[in-house]
Amino acid sequence: MKCRRCREPAVIDIRRHNAAFCGPCFLHHCREQVRRAIDDYAMFGADERVLVAVSGGKDSLALWDILLGLGYHADGLYVGLGIGEYSDASGEHARAFAGERQARLVEVDIPAEYGFDIPGAAVATHRVPCSACGLSKGHLFNKAALDRGYVLGTGHNVDDEAAVLFGSVLRWGAEFLSRQHPVLRASDGFARKVKPLIRLGERETAAYCVLRGIDYIVEECPNAVGNKHLGYKEQLNAIEEQSPGTKAAFYFGFLDRVSSLFSPPAGSGPADLRPCASCGAPTTSPVCAFCSLAARAGAR
Ligand code: Q46
Ligand code: ZN
């Protein structure tokens, strides 16, 4: 197996591209895929600042590293969720990465700053942990980017996006389909949100980290077990195994040919948004979902 670019011995093959690469050419390939995603979807310009939401995992650290390598002003954001040892370890990986590169890491700790943790919030509100977590992260990522004037970047890869799309299509969740776009525009109270890793798969981001010597957290969050999206990923992987390229064709075919049939991508939600009485974030209720979750969870 020879590298497609330089004909040296290859270290990784990517079946959907029908290509193999040596180490240095693979790193070049990853950067080019991110550069293309940023350009194709006009995610941000060279003079804009990007806040990368990092979990300490392979995708978010690979994204941060690639953006720094491409010369962007990219800072990190770590939100402490209070999920026991997992949170302790993931925070350490994020801090170590930032420390080695002397990059700036913004930290928000939910237990210290809001007086609750994700497992406790899930119990108090009778939600599954990932629901309380997703709601909290969505709110705090947006707030951190908005307050500091950043574009928010997340490490969703093509495997993640195809699994979410698969789940939405199975139920024809029109509202979710309308928001499934690699760029959500900024609007009143909402920062712009971008997903520059959509042209890379998770096997590629893992290999990128290994080749770059990035020490990422390998353990999954304990709440990921049995998560619906993991099940969708497994189903799609079985299809991909038989027919390489199907997953990317499914996702990019949706973006290119189908997504415009649903409402245009917008960072805005329903039209009747007003400021949350507690934190000022846009909401359709008197108090936003995050503040109401925090009140219930903190009041236990
Ligand atoms: S961190 Fe949070 Fe994930 Fe853990 S509780 Fe679920 S959503 S699985 S990306
Ligand atoms: Zn609020």
Residue 300: pLDDT over 60: no
Q: What pLDDT is recorded for position 270?
A: 63
**290 C-alpha to ligand 2 centroid (Å):** 6
pTM: 0.95
DSSP notation for 29-78: HHHHHHHHHHHHTT---TTSEEEEE--SSHHHHHHHHHHHHTT-EEEEEE
Residues with Cβ within 8 Å of 291's Cβ and at least 6 positions away in sequence, in order, are: 276, 278, 279, 281
Q: 196-231, pLDDT tens digit by residue?
A: 999 999 999 999 999 999 999 999 999 988 788 899
Q: Which atom of ligand 1 lies closest to the CA of 134?
A: 7
Residue 265: pLDDT over 60: no
**175 C-alpha to ligand 1 centroid (Å):** 22
**52 C-alpha to ligand 2 centroid (Å):** 23
Percent of the chain residues past pLDDT 70, beyond the cut: 97
**292 C-alpha to ligand 2 centroid (Å):** 7
Name the closest-CA residue to atom 1, ligand 1.
221
Name the residue with tokens 């415009």: 260
Which residues does ligand 1 sit against, CB inside 6 Å?
118, 129-130, 133-134, 221, 223-224, 227
Q: What pLDDT is recorded for position 299?
A: 60
* Separation CA 255–CA 37 (nearest Å): 12
pLDDT-derived band at 298, boundaries 50, 70, 90: confident
Q: 151-193, pLDDT tens digit by residue?
A: 999 999 999 999 999 999 999 999 999 999 999 999 999 999 9
Q: Which residues surround ligand 2, an ion (CB under 5 A)?
A: 276, 278-279, 281, 288, 291
Name the closest-CA residue to atom 7, ligand 1.
130
Residue 267: pLDDT over 60: no
Relative to the alpha carbon of 220, which ligand is closest?
1
Residue 29: pLDDT over 80: yes
pLDDT-derived band at 269, boundaries 50, 70, 90: low
Q: Which atom of ligand 1 lies closest to the CA of 129?
A: 5
Relative to the alpha carbon of 127, which ligand is closest?
1
Q: 229-264, pLDDT tens digit by residue?
A: 899 999 999 999 999 999 999 999 999 999 999 875
Q: Which atom of ligand 1 lies closest to the CA of 220?
A: 8
User: What value does the mean pLDDT take over residues 47-65?
Assistant: 98
Task: From 59, 223, 233, 293, give the residue whose CB has the most ligand 1 atoms within 8 Å, as the site to mutate.
Answer: 223
Distances from the Cα of 7 to the Cαs of 16, 21, 28, 296, in angstroms? 19, 8, 15, 60
User: What value does the mean pLDDT take over residues 20-41?
Assistant: 98
Q: What pLDDT is recorded for position 226?
A: 78
Task: From 58, 156, 202, 221, give the residue whose CB has the most ligand 1 atoms within 8 Å, as the site to mutate.
Answer: 221
The letter for the amino acid at 272 is D
Q: 98-135, pLDDT tens digit by residue?
A: 999 999 999 999 999 999 999 999 999 999 999 999 99
Q: What pLDDT is recorded for position 266?
A: 52
